[in-house]
């Protein structure tokens, strides 16, 4: 009798599980025990009225956790650990900051995403599945001619580092005003670039419209142009941008025409959700498609590739019509992130030159989480590696120190040098020496102290292969300095820089 009852109850359990399967609830993770399962995060309502979801698939094996996070905008592979109810999982681009970190609480994941956004993930159901997108074959490869732009690294301002999703027409206008009144424009910062979250929805003809935050993009471009500045915009080769807004997949020609009709001067084209459709072998043809579409409009637009350096972009970026390409993941306003990004430039050095630049991401100078010494190092390194100089701070309220960094014309001149060479470093313990050859036959030399205490350094003229030094100038002190014999010695503060121009 007892045996029969057990069989009956086992049968009931099996039926119960089958029912859960049919309801799509089988992904329910082991409450309180394991992270294994499929979880859904309800997204915030976007500025175009849509409310996208994200799905996190996790597998826990002892203390090891692996999985993926998929949003409409991108997907990330995750790897990390769980201890008790606490877990931390990392994307492959950062070993220091978890992509998701949090706790399993009453069958829900309460976590922080990328150290910033609090999220709650609940067990997902089949109703949460991502929409299916038809595959579009990438075009055959052919070379897109140079558009003649960006003979020196592009300079300007971009909305993302400071505002992320909180950017609108009015803010862009006041920022354009400040670019003029602060002297940024006259120092060469010309492009005012709107990053992600400007997008609305497509109209009946498939034309992408801006959302309510940008009521008239053409009028905004007219305003920015009236200030002697240029306007940049942002999209993705995937169906969605990284922030999950509609993007250019299957609409490349149409969107390029829209951007041209708004008098846009610069496009940042961010891989994002293209990753949910293509592998890295499609990067080049997919970027070529938009390169071609931009040129077909007849309007000169700088073409900025943003695919985090995947697929050795530095080797083919020019062939798709690119003027610059990101070589790294996203910068953060932190010393370690800034240094990590610039060090990733080292193998890309031979590929920089007039018209085509490696891009270690936008500046964080003035955003408040690094010291002024660190920001001076940031600016010096970006100039030495001939990086685009796209300020990412609030130009309207700069401190005198921030102004002195961003508006240092002697450092800007190193970045904008017409020879277009990218510096490479020589390491000596905690001290790195970066040397950039300049068009006048001289060099810029930056000595960076990565250590936690001040370092004494000597620059030897013989190491710079310059013969006798006729003139040397400290570009932060704004004064000429003297080499005695072969050398010049100075003390470099922790995380600080000595930047000389030597001839
Ligand atoms: C990616 C890019 C960033 C920014 C955001 C916008 O993360 O790398 O620079 O454009 O997308 O969503």
β-pairing, 208-210 vs 155-158, is unpaired
> Given this model, what pLDDT does residue 171 score?
98
User: What's the gap in Å between 312 CA and the centre of ligand 1?
Assistant: 19
Nearest-CA residue for ligand 1 atom 4 is: 160
In this prediction, residue 93 carries a pLDDT of 79
- What value does the mean pLDDT of the chain take? 93
196 in ligand 1 pocket by Cβ < 6 Å?
Answer: yes
- Assess whether pLDDT exceeds 50 at residue 49: yes
Q: How confident is the model at residue 10 (pLDDT cuts 50, 70, 90)?
A: very low
Q: What is the pLDDT of residues 309-332, one digit of tens each?
A: 999 999 999 999 999 999 999 999
Q: What is the three-class DSSP state of 415?
A: helix
Which residue of 306, 324, 359, 388 sits with most ligand 1 atoms within 8 Å of its CB, as the best mutation to test the pocket?
306
SS3 of the chain: helix, strand, coil, percent, to 5:
30, 30, 45
Confidence of residue 267 (pLDDT cuts 50, 70, 90): very high
pLDDT at residue number 309: 97
Nearest CA to ligand 1 atom 6: 196
pLDDT beyond 60 at 32: no
Helices 335-343/372-384 angle, 10° precision: 10
Is there an atom of ligand 1 within 6 Å of 328 CB? no
User: Is 242's C-beta closer than 6 angstroms to any atom of ligand 1?
Assistant: yes
pLDDT in tens, 110-131: 999 998 889 999 999 999 998 8
**Distance, CA of 284 to CA of 142 (rounded, Å):** 10
Q: Whose CA is nearest to atom 3 of ligand 1?
A: 330
Q: Is the CB of 158 under 6 A from ligand 1?
A: no
Question: Which atom of ligand 1 lies closest to the CA of 306?
Answer: 8
Distance CA 25, CA 126 (A): 7
- Asked if the model's pLDDT at residue 31 lies above 60, the reply is no
pLDDT over 60 (residue 3): no
Write out pLDDT tens, residues 328-349.
999 999 999 999 999 999 999 9
| Ligand 1 mutation pick, 54, 160, 360, 363, max ligand atoms within 8 A of CB | 160
Superfamily of domain 155-420: Aldolase class I (3.20.20.70)
Residue 1 is predicted with a pLDDT of: 32
Q: Which residue has the tokens 């073409």?
A: 303
Q: Which of 72-76, 196-200, 347-351, 391-395 shows the lowest per-residue confidence on average (mean pLDDT)?
A: 72-76
User: What are the structure tokens assigned to 431, written together?
Assistant: 């001290």
Closest ligand 1 atom to Cα of 268: 10
Q: Which CATH architecture is the domain 425-502 placed in?
A: Sandwich (2.60)
Name every residue whose Cβ is closer than 8 Å to that of residue 190 and which is 6 or more positions away in sequence.
Answer: 154, 155, 156, 228, 229, 230
Please write the tens of the pLDDT for every residue from 376-424.
Answer: 999 999 999 999 999 999 999 999 999 999 999 999 999 999 999 999 9
Using a 6 Å cutoff on CB, does residue 359 contact ligand 1? no
Q: Output the residue whose Cα is nearest ligand 1's atom 5.
A: 242
| Nearest protein Cα to ligand 1, atom 9 | 330
Give 489's DSSP letter: E
| Minimal-distance CA residue to ligand 1 atom 11 | 242
CB atoms within 10 A of CB 501: 22
Joined together, the tokens standing for residue 498 give 């000595």
Domain with CATH 3.20.20.70 in the chain: 155-420
Ligand 1: which of 166, 197, 242 to mutate, most ligand atoms within 8 Å of CB?
242
Ligand 1 contacts CB of residue 241 (under 6 A): yes
The whole-number pLDDT of residue 22 equals: 38
User: What CATH class is the domain 25-126?
Assistant: mainly beta
Largest CA distance in the chain: 104
Q: What is the pLDDT of residue 136?
A: 98
pLDDT of residue 99: 96
270 CA from centroid of ligand 1 (Å)? 7
> 472 CA distance to ligand 1 centroid (A)?
39
Predicted local distance difference test score (pLDDT) of residue 342: 98
Spatial distance between the Cα atoms of 193 and 232, rounded to a whole number of angstroms: 4
Q: Ligand 1 within 6 A of 330 CB?
A: yes
Alpha-carbon distance of 407 to 188, in angstroms, equals: 9
Domain with CATH 2.40.128.120 in the chain: 25-126
How far, in Å, is the centroid of ligand 1 from the Cα of 144? Answer: 25
Kindly state the average pLDDT of the residues 435-453. 98
Give the closest residue to 168 by CA, choosing from 195, 189, 191: 195
Does 195 sit in the ligand 1 pocket, CB within 6 Å? yes
Q: What's residue 8's pLDDT? A: 38
Which has the closest alpha carbon to 419: 435, 407, 432, 404?
435
Considering only CA atoms, which of 138, 424, 411 is closest in space to residue 286?
Answer: 138
Distance 459 CA to ligand 1 centre (A): 38
- Residue pLDDT, tens place only, 142-188: 999 999 999 999 999 999 999 999 999 999 999 999 999 999 999 99
Ligand 1 atom closest to the Cα of residue 195 is 10
Nearest to 159 by CA among 201, 117, 118, 191: 191
What is the reported pLDDT for 15?
39
pLDDT for res 7: 41
Residue with tokens 């120092």: 187
Cβ of residue 270 lying under 6 Å from some atom of ligand 1: yes
Please state the separation of Cα 201 from the chain's center in Å. 24
Q: Is the pLDDT of residue 221 over 90?
A: yes
- List the catalytic residues: 270, 330
Q: What is the pLDDT of residue 443?
A: 97
CA of 378 to the centre of ligand 1 (A): 20
Is 169's C-beta closer than 6 angstroms to any atom of ligand 1?
no
Tell me, using a 6 A CB cutoff, whether residue 199 lines ligand 1.
Answer: no
Q: Is 243 in the pocket of ligand 1 (CB under 6 A)?
A: yes
């Amino acid at each position: 009798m007892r045996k029969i009852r057990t069989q009956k109850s086992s049968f009931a359990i099996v039926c119960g599980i089958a029912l859960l399967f049919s309801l799509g609830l089988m992904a329910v993770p082991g409450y309180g025990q394991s992270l294994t399962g499929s979880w859904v995060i309800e997204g915030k309502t976007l500025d175009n009225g849509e409310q996208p979801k994200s799905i996190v698939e996790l597998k826990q094996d002892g203390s090891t956790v692996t999985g993926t996070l998929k949003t409409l905008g991108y997907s990330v592979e995750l790897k990390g650990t769980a201890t008790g109810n606490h877990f931390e999982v990392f994307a492959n681009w950062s070993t220091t900051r978890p992509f998701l970190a949090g706790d399993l609480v009453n069958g829900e994941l309460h976590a922080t995403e990328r150290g910033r956004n609090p999220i709650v993930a609940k067990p997902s159901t089949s109703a949460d599945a991502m929409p299916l997108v038809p595959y579009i074959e990438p075009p055959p490869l052919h070379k897109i001619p140079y558009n003649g732009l960006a003979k020196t690294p592009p300079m300007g301002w971009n909305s993302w580092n400071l505002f992320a999703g909180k950017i609108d027409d009015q803010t862009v206008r006041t920022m354009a005003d400040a670019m003029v009144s602060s002297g940024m424009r006259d120092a060469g910062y010309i492009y005012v670039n709107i990053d992600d979250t400007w997008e609305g929805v497509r109209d009946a003809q498939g034309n992408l419209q801006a959302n309510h935050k940008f009521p008239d993009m053409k009028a905004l471009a007219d305003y920015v142009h009236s200030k002697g500045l240029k306007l940049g915009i942002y999209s993705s080769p995937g169906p969605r941008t990284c922030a999950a807004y509609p993007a250019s997949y299957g609409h490349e020609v149409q969107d390029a025409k829209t951007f041209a009709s708004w008098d846009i001067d610069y496009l940042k084209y961010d891989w994002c959700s293209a990753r949910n459709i293509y592998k890295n072998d499609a990067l080049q043809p997919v970027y070529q498609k938009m390169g071609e579409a931009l040129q077909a409009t007849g309007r000169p637009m700088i073409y900025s590739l943003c695919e985090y350096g995947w697929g050795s972009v530095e080797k083919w970026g020019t062939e798709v019509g690119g003027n610059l390409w990101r070589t790294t993941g996203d910068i953060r306003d932190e010393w370690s992130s800034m240094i990590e990004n610039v060090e990733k430039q080292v193998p890309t050095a031979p590929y920089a030159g007039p018209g085509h630049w490696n891009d270690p991401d936008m500046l964080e100078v003035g955003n408040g989480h690094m010291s002024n010494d660190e920001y001076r190092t940031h600016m010096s390194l970006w100039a030495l590696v001939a990086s685009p100089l796209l300020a990412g701070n609030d130009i309207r309220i700069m401190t005198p120190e921030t102004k002195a960094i961003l508006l240092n014309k002697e450092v800007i001149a190193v970045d904008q040098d017409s020879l277009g060479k990218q510096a490479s470093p020589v390491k000596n313990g905690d001290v790195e020496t970066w040397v950039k050859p300049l068009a006048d036959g001289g060099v810029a030399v930056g000595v960076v102290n990565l250590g936690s205490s001040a370092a004494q350094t000597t620059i030897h003229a013989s190491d710079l292969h310059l013969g006798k030094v006729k003139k040397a100038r400290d570009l932060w002190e704004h004064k000429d300095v003297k080499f005695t014999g072969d050398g010049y010695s100075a003390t470099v503060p922790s995380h600080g820089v000595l930047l000389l121009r030597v001839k």
